[in-house]
Amino acid sequence: MTPTFDGSKVVVSAMIFDHDGNLWVGTAGKGIFRIHGNVVDHYRGTDGLSSDTVLPLFQDRGGIVWSVTTNGIDSFRDSSVSTFSAREGLGTDAATGVLASRDGTIWVANAGSLDQIKNGEVTSIRTGSGLPGHQVTAMLEDRAGNLWVEVDDGLFLFKSGRFRRLPEPSHQPLGMVVGVTEDNDGNVWAECLGNPRKLVRIRDFQVREEFPPSQVPPGHSLASDPHGGIWIATKKGDIGLFRNGVFETKFPLNPGGNPSNRQIMSMADGSVIAGSENGLVAWRQGQVHRMTRMSWMPF
């Protein structure tokens, strides 16, 4: 029970568990909530957050939590907030994603640039000066430490300052990648807005399989399941598990809602937490729990 936080009353845009077990919830219009047991901290623009509308959240190896907002990048250390925006060197204030890599670098997906924040300094790879396109969206650091970056309609490996484009089947662009994850077997999965839309499985830097909407419902957010397969937040509004070539719907989230607002994360025990404009929902041991003020379920 969390008497000061009602998860059904917020539009959830991002979630992470930090190294201390706190659940951070980014919202559209209400800032960030940090939840630990029954204790809830709330951060908004009046507290120094660059905007009350929050996009992705990540924590780096040093324990710093990073948030992307509609007006910049914020970092949290000991409850303090530091802001990174175009004034500090980001390409624009329209960042669409953030990733904390193992070496402590913060990567920012942006319009016209792939930005890096390290030791408080911002550097950028920009369109016309090394970036092979304009819009950066999805990013992933795989288990081997490779950085995958989606730029425009292609997926790239970024290594030693150079971008290497993933070969596309039949020389047709994948389309914009809106979700990417790595499963327990080392396969990289990407949800692509190509024509047609598709889910692809990548291994050894080759697209090994393509799954059309007739086989796998179109999705947005992806998350790896610890027992194999991947979780997909579908455009229709369901959360399902895709494993061994079979998609199984597990629970509805927000049918008819905005698919770009659906976020999912999986836990080591196979539990799943999903967020949308309809709030927070947890799926555990086959049961669905909506996280409200009266029904908070600790994980």
Yes or no: say if 138 and 190 are a contact pair by the CB < 8 Å rule.
yes
pLDDT at res. 293: 59
Residues 6+ apart with CB under 8 A from 246: none
**Predicted confidence band of residue 28 (pLDDT cuts 50, 70, 90):** very high
pLDDT at res. 80: 66
- Tokens read off for 292: 């409200």
Yes or no: say if 74 and 67 are a contact pair by the CB < 8 Å rule.
yes
* pLDDT, tens digit, 9 for 90 and up, residues 227-250: 999 999 988 888 999 999 999 998
* pLDDT, tens digit, 9 for 90 and up, residues 140-192: 999 999 999 999 999 999 998 999 999 998 888 999 999 999 999 999 999 99
Diameter of the chain by CA atoms? 56
